[in-house]
Amino acid sequence: MRWDPTEYLTFADERGRPFRDLMARVGASAPAYVVDLGCGPGNLTVSLAQRWPGAVVEGVDSSAEMVERATADLADAPVRFSVGDLRDWVPDRPVDVLVSNATLQWVPGHLALLDRLLSWVAPGGWFGFQVPGNFDEPTHTELAALRESPRWRDRLGGNLAQPGSEQPATYLRRLAATGARVEAWETTYLQVLQGEDAVVRWMRGTGLRPVLAELDAGEQEEFLSAYRERMRAAYPPEPSGTVLPYRRVFVVAEVAGSR
């Protein structure tokens, strides 16, 4: 699945709100090494370098397109970017702040991966992540229904990769069992999106990517036409814009010990 940084950044401010709320609960004062796993185009990773100017800040993403965009746009920023898969990523030294923003939902079975990620965090360090929890919203349920419709079932049904996440309490219990001090919560934002078919444009940056990757140009437009109709019915425009409920799950863990 290829990612399009330009499409992803269409709603950069709205997508960045959960990241800012997550980082507000990370209490590190002077970390030496900070890593953003799943950094995307790097626009949020830069804020970590601004917050902790004395730290080495690294952004890692599995998408070469995202890393290329980050490297080009942020060539003068004090951040280094690299291509890597968080499932087998290994830091060269303990990490003081490890962040993963809107990424783990794309990793099947990521709950089992949390212990390994936490093991890379230095004593007294912090691990924070946030994932979507809105998979029962029409954005996703209607997408699944369309994929399983007679027209598309053979092409898009079955085992096509789709994101998923756990409940906050599940994450809390998993990480608390390691001895870390854990905080978990959820927030539903009401994103007010502007422009025609705003919800579809929003989804093109994320949830529609694996679906459209399976189709040629003509099929993509046919599929999108049907999806637009469903989204217009589910999210009718309002005077202020199109209101999209956007539930997110947040987890912050402080590892026991001191540096």
Q: Is the model's pLDDT at 159 over the cut of 80?
A: no
What pLDDT score does 259 carry? Answer: 59
Residues 63, 125: contact at Cβ < 8 Å? no
Residues 46, 16: contact at Cβ < 8 Å? no
DSSP class of residue 238 equals B
Task: Render pLDDT for 9-28 as a digit per residue (tens, 0 to 9).
Answer: 788 899 999 999 999 999 99
For residue 102 the two structure tokens come to 């809107």
For 54, counting Cβ atoms within 10 Å of its Cβ (0-12 exposed, 13-18 middle, 19+ buried), the class is exposed
Q: Is 80 contained in some domain?
A: yes
Q: Can you point out the beta strands (E) in 103-241?
A: 121-132, 181-193
Distances (CA, A) of 257 to 35, 41, 179: 20, 33, 10
Q: Is the model's pLDDT at 248 over the cut of 90?
A: yes
Q: What is the CATH number of the domain that holds 105?
A: 3.40.50.150
Task: Render pLDDT for 57-100 as a digit per residue (tens, 0 to 9).
Answer: 999 999 999 999 999 999 999 999 999 999 999 999 999 999 99
Q: In what order do the strands lie in the sheet with 121-132?
A: 79-83, 56-61, 33-37, 95-101, 121-132, 242-254, 181-193
Q: Is 41 contained in some domain?
A: yes
Q: Is 259 contained in some domain?
A: no
For residue 136, give every residue at least 6 positions away whose Cβ sits within 8 Å of its Cβ, in sequence order, or none. Answer: none
What is the amino acid identity at position 78? P
What is the Cα Rg of the chain in Å? 19
Q: Is 151 contained in some domain?
A: yes
The answer to which of 122-131, 157-166, 192-201 has the lowest mean pLDDT is 157-166
What pLDDT score does 12 carry? Answer: 84
Q: Is 176 contained in some domain?
A: yes
What pLDDT score does 4 carry? Answer: 77
Domain, as residue range, for 50: 5-254
Task: Render pLDDT for 187-236 as a digit per residue (tens, 0 to 9).
Answer: 999 999 999 999 999 999 888 988 999 999 999 999 999 999 999 999 99
- For residue 164, what pLDDT band results from cuts at 50, 70 and 90? very high
Number of C-beta neighbours around residue 109 at 10 A: 8
Q: Is 227 contained in some domain?
A: yes
Q: Is 153 contained in some domain?
A: yes
Report the run of H or E that residue 250 belongs to, with start and end.
strand 242-254
- For residue 160, what pLDDT band results from cuts at 50, 70 and 90? confident
Number of structural domains found in the chain: 1
